[in-house]
Structures are given as C-alpha cells and as structure tokens.
Amino acid sequence: MQDPLSLTFSALADPTRRAILAQLAKGDANVSELAKPFLQDMSLPAVTKHLKVLENAGLIIKTREAQSRPCKLNGEALKVAADWVEQYREFWEESFDRLELYLKSLKQPQ
C-alpha cells in the first residue's frame, strides 16, 4: 500500500485523469457524463478504470443513486498535495531571491 501523497501524484500523472478532475471542478457529474469526452479514444471500461484510480487516491468521491453513479471532486486530497508542493515553492522563491541579490552584487562597481 502506498502513502496517500504518492497515490495522489500517481493519479495526477495521467492527462485523462487530470481532464476528468477539470470536468468535476465545474460541478458533480455521473460516470457517463465524465466518460463522454473520451469515448472516441477509449472504451467506457477504460474510463471507469481511470475513475477508480482517482477514487482510490481520494481525489473523487463516487456514490450510488439508483442506476446513476454521481462523482464529485474531493478538494481535501488536492489540498494535501498543494500544501506539499507549496513548501518547495517557498524554497525556490527564497533561492531565486538570494541569486538575485548575488547577481546585483556582481554588477556593482568594486
């Protein structure tokens, strides 16, 4: 079993899954609505597998309502990944700030 952050980044690595998340960012949708844009390039079972990966990573929540399978985005799982990335953004910004100061010091006449 992988840790949740690894599952999240693994799920986000695929462009089809990112496109599904983009659809869900606009609002809840059922499986057939989510699959529709992809059915020219892949089968419904293939799309369902992508949904399962997203669900296992906690990025979406799929429920059952009679014959329908509504899905919704789980923002909390995305927030965990964003928070992890954020710490590195701060590191790189500080590094670039230090580099900028160093480069300015080189330009000053001695």
Sorted by sequence, the CB contacts under 8 Å of residue 30 that are 6+ apart come out as 68, 69, 70, 71
Rounded to 5°, angle at Cα 37 from 39 and 66:
80
Q: What is the pLDDT of residues 22-57, one digit of tens each?
A: 999 999 999 999 999 999 999 999 999 999 999 999
pLDDT at 7: 93
* Residue type (1 letter), 78: L
CATH numbers and ranges of domains, the chain: 4-107 (1.10.10.10)
Angle 12-14-20 from CA coordinates, rounded to 5°: 75
- Report pTM: 0.78
Q: Is the dihedral of CA 62, 21, 5, 49 positive or negative?
A: positive
Quote the tokens at residue 62. 């799929």
Give the model's confidence band at 1: pLDDT under 50 very low, under 70 low, under 90 confident, else very high: low
